[in-house]
Amino acid sequence: MADSIGEARRRYAEELRFTAKVGSSAVIAAFATVPRELFFGAGPWRVLSPMAADEYWTTEDADPRHVYHDVLIAIDEERRLNNGQPSLWARLYDQLELTRGAHVVHVGAGTGYYSAILAEIVGRTGQVTAVEIDPDLAERARHNLAAAWPQAAVVVADGFAFGPDRPADAIIVNAGVSHVSIAWLDALAAENGRLLVPLTNADRWGGALIIERHSGETRRYPARFAGHIRIIPCIGGRDPLAEGRLQAALAGSRLAAVRSLRRAPERRDETCWLAGDGWWLYGRCRRAPLLIEFVTSASGWRPRRQKGCGIIDERPMPSAPRQQSIERSALTVGSPELNAVRRRAPRGKCR
């Protein structure tokens, strides 16, 4: 039986290599090594399929091989608290490019399975600080990790406000927030510190960003979209006003547009994608829709003002009525109406 469980674990890891397009051999080796069944108690287990995420079902028996599939395993079904989808986290960890000896802060450790995966990736010379706000879950994680991962230490704390005792090469947030914690930015290593954070709306949907720190920078941080996500909310990391701003930003353009995070005393400009408290996310210039207000005059229509990332030529337009009036239009790129007005995007790089 032990051999067949080990074989199931290896096949599971190999399948993740393809489904998540994982390039790191260290990530694949970690998933092939850590016994997932150790972190849930005795089976049978309650399972949630990504293809039918509204309904749990029960494995037919307690055979550990059942957990070696790309499914979520219930930790607390009533709270819809699960051990997350393996392909999602394999893909995200791969993008972080973690190395041996790194210090990783894992916010939202649950019962410790993904903390163990991270401990395998960074090795015995590395360190994983596993942060869990729920004392019962933290105790379970501490017990589970003690079996084989002495480089992983469990801390009971509010992960949103948590500051480690030394800089983190990576901070991985295993829950959705409506806004970025300044404490996380301050805790990043001065060179190549990475923050993986899911920004999600009130319905738990959103996307993960990887925010980087280089050369000890404290004002500008490169950022990139890492993938779409649906995840439980982060206790302490939700705010109704911030949720509203995030929802409006997501309605305007995709999170994939984000290119950087800036902090005060940087100033906000027209490429701001989302405004937080003392920080801003910036993206590519947004081109549509443009809200333009035209004013008619004897020489034709001319733009009076416009909103959006673009510049409108103030040239007279033909065949305009001669009486004074104001008309408002939301013009989209490529529309016949907008083609009547020459539009030039701002030159330079949006960061």
pLDDT digits (tens, 9 = 90+) for 286-339: 443 333 333 444 444 444 333 433 322 233 333 444 333 333 333 344 444 444
Tell me the average pLDDT across 183-212.
Answer: 97
**pLDDT of 348 above 60:** no
Please state the rounded mean pLDDT for residues 224-253: 94
Rounded-to-integer distance, Cα 178 and Cα 114, Å: 23
| pLDDT (average), residues 125-131 | 98
Of the two residues 210 and 316, the one the predictor is more confident about is 210
CATH, domain range 80-283: 3.40.50.150
Candidates 131, 124, 145, 136; CA nearest to 35 is: 145
Query: What ranges make up the beta strands (E) of 176-332?
Result: 193-200, 205-213, 220-230, 258-263, 272-275, 279-283, 290-297, 300-307, 311-312, 326-331
Q: Where are the beta strands (DSSP E) in the chain?
A: 46-49, 52-58, 72-76, 81-83, 103-107, 127-132, 152-156, 170-173, 193-200, 205-213, 220-230, 258-263, 272-275, 279-283, 290-297, 300-307, 311-312, 326-331, 343-344
What pLDDT is attached to residue 155? 98
Evaluate whether 180 touches 197 at the Cβ level (below 8 Å): yes
Strands in 300-307's sheet, in edge-to-edge order, are 300-307, 290-297, 326-331
Query: Which pLDDT value is given to residue 285?
Result: 52
pLDDT at residue 128 tops 70: yes
Q: Select from 247, 233, 244, 164 the least CA-distant residue to 197.
A: 233
Q: What pLDDT is recorded for position 301? A: 44
Interatomic CA distance for residues 22 and 16, integer angstroms = 7
Mean pLDDT to the nearest integer, 188-215: 96
Per-residue pLDDT, 1: 65
The domain limits of the chain are 80-283, 290-344
Whether the pLDDT of residue 100 is over 70: the answer is yes
pLDDT of residue 267: 83
Q: Provide the residue type at 43 as one letter.
A: G
Nearest CA to 218 among 184, 258, 171, 185?
A: 185
